[in-house]
Amino acid sequence: MTNNLRAFLAMIGVSEGTARLGSNGGYDVLVGGTLFDGYEDHPREVVNLSRRLKSTAAGRYQILERIWDYYSKRMGLTNFSPESQDLVAVRLIKECDALEDIDAGRIEVAIKKCRRIWASFPGAGYGQHENKLAGLLEAYKAAGGVIKT
């Protein structure tokens, strides 16, 4: 894994609000900020965020249960460990065709390509809180990522 990809993953944790929570870099955080115990499987908890909004998002990258089930089966993952969460996040980034952009330091482009996956990215359009690009770029650089223009 390249330094830029590690930094991008760290930036996702900052964006999703999980990096500062939990006891393990956000890998044990449910949507809404509560924690779950154990990594045997996705926690599969439905959290009511509002009268109309419910979510099963969990872990550092706030992976939905249905997304986890799809990818863990195809990738042969047997637990929801930090390593497995990282593997699924990288797979999602790859499927957004953003890996090359990340490696090349084109982080703004990569964020735009991945915003359909992470609702906290600017321009995601899910009606949830979206972070500002400048803050995400700062988090990326703070994690050791290099930006090229």
How many Cβ atoms from other residues are within 10 Å of residue 40's Cβ? 10
Q: In angstroms, rounded to a whole number, what is the distance separating the alpha carbons of residues 121 and 112?
A: 8
pLDDT at residue 13, as a whole number: 96
Q: In angstroms, rounded to a whole number, what is the distance separating the alpha carbons of residues 53 and 12?
A: 21
Q: Mean pLDDT, to the nearest integer, of 5-29?
A: 92
Exposure b/e, 96-135, CB count within 10 A at least 16 = b: bebbebbeebbbbebbbbbbebbbbbbebeeeeebbeeee
20-72 pLDDT per residue, tens: 887 788 999 999 888 999 999 999 999 887 777 888 999 999 999 999 999 99
Half-sphere exposure of 15 (CA within 13 A, CB side): 31
Look at residues 40, 121, 120, 119 and name the one whose alpha carbon lies nearest to residue 110.
Answer: 121
- At which residue do the structure tokens 């900052």 appear? 14
Domains and CATH numbers, the chain: 3-142 (1.10.530.10)
pTM exceeds 0.75: yes
100 catalytically annotated? no
Phi, psi of 54, deg, nearest 5? -125, 150
